[in-house]
């Protein structure tokens, strides 16, 4: 049963060839498993690029690998959120911009900003494999947290997951993240990365409640993309800061 839940999780979060499609409800009722897909995505993307000696090319290949493995599914949510944030006309206009299929200036700006931050952080890391694993795991934790606590503003995939989530799911997702302490990453930057993974979904929750009246799948996906970028930046900036 656990293997089928993991297959359902990976079939939702990646485009990996995993055989026949399993019942999605196996994952929908266990969204605290989100971080486990981060180990797979981050590990595969890191292995794709870690051996490349030129930092900029290594970072570009790692970023392409992440987008390729995930099918850019959650990145699409980031673009939609960017459009919703930049739209005018009150909550109804913002929701229309958030949920339509067109990509506008706001989405372009949001996507470019997050991609640039992610690329800059990856190219600044002396070793990206473990950093990318940590970033992906914490990105998926942020999605698990927002899935459990982000009340939906309309029916849809997020509403389906939200109504099957329990208040304790984020705590279980946090337990799934505990193996990160075994990675060869300094504890202080890793602590900053964990703090980012807690703060970003709550900030997005406040923003989404104010502007849209709730959360949808685009906001959840955007949380993962933004968290990944900020976690990688934290792993770079905290060791380099004179404050630490």
Percentage of the chain with pLDDT > 70?
98
CA dihedral 77, 82, 84, 90 (to 10 degrees): 160
Predicted model pTM:
0.94
142-153 burial: b if 16+ Cβ within 10 Å, else e: bbbbbbbbbebb
| Alpha-carbon span 169 to 32, nearest angstrom | 5
| CB contact set of 1 (below 8 Å; sequence gap of 6+) | 26
Q: How far is CA 167 from the centre of its chain?
A: 20
Q: Match 């389906």 to its residue by tokens.
A: 160
- Residue-wise pLDDT tens digits, 187-217: 999 999 999 999 999 999 999 999 999 999 9
| Whole-number pLDDT of residue 242 | 41
Count the domains in the chain.
1
| CB contact set of 75 (below 8 Å; sequence gap of 6+) | 67, 111, 221, 225
Range of the domain at 55: 2-240
Structure tokens belonging to residue 17: 């060839």
pLDDT tens track, the chain, 244 positions? 678 888 889 999 999 998 888 888 889 999 999 999 999 999 999 999 999 999 999 999 999 999 999 998 899 999 999 998 888 777 888 888 888 878 888 999 999 999 999 999 999 998 899 999 999 999 999 999 999 999 999 888 999 999 999 999 999 999 999 999 999 999 999 999 999 999 999 999 999 999 999 999 999 999 999 999 999 999 999 875 545 4
């Amino acid at each position: 049963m656990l293997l089928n839940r993991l297959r359902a999780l990976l079939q939702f979060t990646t485009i990996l060839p995993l055989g026949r499609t399993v019942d999605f409800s196996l994952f929908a009722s266990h969204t605290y498993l989100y971080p486990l897909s981060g180990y797979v995505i981050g590990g595969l993307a890191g292995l794709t690029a870690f051996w490349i000696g030129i930092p900029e090319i290594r970072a570009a290949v790692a970023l392409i690998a992440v987008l390729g493995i995930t099918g850019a599914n959650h990145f699409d949510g980031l673009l939609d959120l960017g459009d919703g944030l930049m739209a005018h006309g009150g909550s109804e206009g913002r929701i229309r911009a958030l949920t339509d299929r067109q990509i506008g200036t706001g989405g372009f700006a949001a996507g470019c900003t997050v991609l640039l931050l992610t690329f800059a952080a990856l190219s600044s890391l002396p070793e990206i494999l473990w950093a990318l694993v940590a970033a992906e795991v914490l990105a998926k934790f942020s999605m698990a947290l927002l899935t459990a606590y982000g009340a939906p503003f309309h029916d849809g995939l997020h509403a389906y997951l939200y109504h099957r989530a329990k208040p304790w799911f984020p705590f279980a997702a946090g337990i799934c993240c505990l193996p990160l302490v075994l990675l060869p990453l300094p504890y202080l930057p890793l602590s900053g990365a964990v703090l980012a993974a807690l703060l970003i979904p709550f900030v997005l929750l406040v923003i989404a409640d104010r502007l849209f009246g709730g959360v949808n799948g685009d906001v959840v996906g955007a949380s993962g993309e933004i968290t990944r970028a900020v976690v990688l930046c934290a792993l770079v900036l905290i060791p380099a800061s004179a404050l630490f």
